[in-house]
Amino acid sequence: MYKLITVIIIMSLLVCGCDTGGQSALTNTELERIVYSQNIELAESAGNPVLMIGGEVVTCEEIIESPTVLGDLFISPVEYFKPLAQLLNLEQFKERAKEPMKEILTDTISKILLYQHAKRQFGEKIDESLDQAAESELRKLLLQFGGDQAKADEWLKNNRLDRKSYKERQKRAILIEWYVSSKLRDDRPITYREMKERYEAIKNEYFAKESMIQFRLIDIQSAKLKELDPNEGGAQLAEKVAGNLLAQIKAGEDFGELAKQYSHGHMRDFGGLWQPLKPDSLAPPYDVLAAAARSMEPNQVSELIKTPDHIFIMKLEQKQTAGYEPFENVQEYVRQAVLYDRQNELLNKLNDIVQQQADLGQTDEFVDFCLEQIHRKNNQQKVKK
């Protein structure tokens, strides 16, 4: 969903001067025209079956080795089907994997046809904009690895890509998504009710907020004080020390500096500052802090919080209660989610039409060959052993 938002923003800026043919919606008739205007043919190259899609050659290697979204994974089909390929013999594997493989192929064909159609709409005038957008996506990838180009290149290599092929893949994805979304914008209005219903459907996944607190802590431990002064009871001394510290804090002394000097806790060197955490993740004896935080506000300092072996003074730094981002704050994301759903509906229609055309083109031989290659690649090491 969020990638679609990025694509729309980038392409709206870069291609605002391009004519999109009146922004007419992609009707079923238009989708059929996109598919049936291009031939999907089975051919042969170097003795192996290949597909010719509108003049573009697609090899089995490209299909099975290229990472794509499968379920919740970004993975190549050869890796995705690995467990099944190693478990079953070839004929059993073909029977189980044929329909999923046809869906992968159908999706690939649909995207190629859409890309070719969008390119014909815009011509060469779109190339510079696509280059800029793809370069921006490459920079984002590098940032994901902290700017370490070697690590980014290693990730690309592991995904059977290099920078050039990655940019080409991004250019195709950006143009397809922008073209489809541009056709959907004026298709039918997005109503408030539709957005509210979509918000309710996705809020648990995208907009949920967990309870979180962050605090500074002065932790006075009676056992540590007993070590310093065996003649005075540890508990009594702990309460006396903690009471003096609380008085100093109320008089304006810096909480963090006092924690560094007097706290026995493991975060004393950091001024008693703990990292943000879920309140229910605190184990005894620190679980009492979660209970105290419920009635406190940020920057507030607690009274003495006593346990058998500890006396705590807590300053609440941050507090977030469980809930959801209000609809009013995320309306633009929800609107794009509705557009994203409509885009998927349209692409599913296109896939259905492509599947009909692909059946006419007798692509079963190509699918079988791809499945044979997946099975062979995943079992060749077992054969060597």
Q: Which tens digit of pLDDT belongs to each residue from 219-246?
A: 999 988 876 666 666 788 899 999 999 9
DSSP codes, 140-198: HHHHHTTT-HHHHHHHHHHTT--HHHHHHHHHHHHHHHHHHHHHHHTTSPPPHHHHHHH
Structure tokens at 100: 């999923």
- pLDDT reported for residue 236: 85
Question: 73-75 and 208-209: which strand pairing?
Answer: unpaired
The fold of the 211-321 domain, in CATH, is Chitinase A; domain 3 (3.10.50)
Task: Write the CA distances from 100 to 116, 130, 229, integer angstroms.
Answer: 25, 31, 74
Of the chain, the percentage scoring pLDDT greater than 70 comes to 88
Q: Which of 1-5, 170-174, 349-353, 367-371 has the lowest mean pLDDT?
A: 1-5
Residue 283: pLDDT over 80? yes
Q: Which residues contact 106 (CB under 8 A, 6 or more apart)?
A: 351, 354, 355, 358
- Looking at residues 179-192, what average pLDDT do you find? 74
pLDDT in tens, 111-143: 888 888 888 887 777 888 888 888 998 999 999
Higher pLDDT, 285 or 7: 285
Residue 259: pLDDT over 80? yes
- pLDDT reported for residue 328: 94
- 3 falls in which pLDDT band (50, 70, 90)? very low
Q: What is the pTM of this model?
A: 0.60
Q: Domain spans of the chain?
A: 2-206+328-384, 211-321
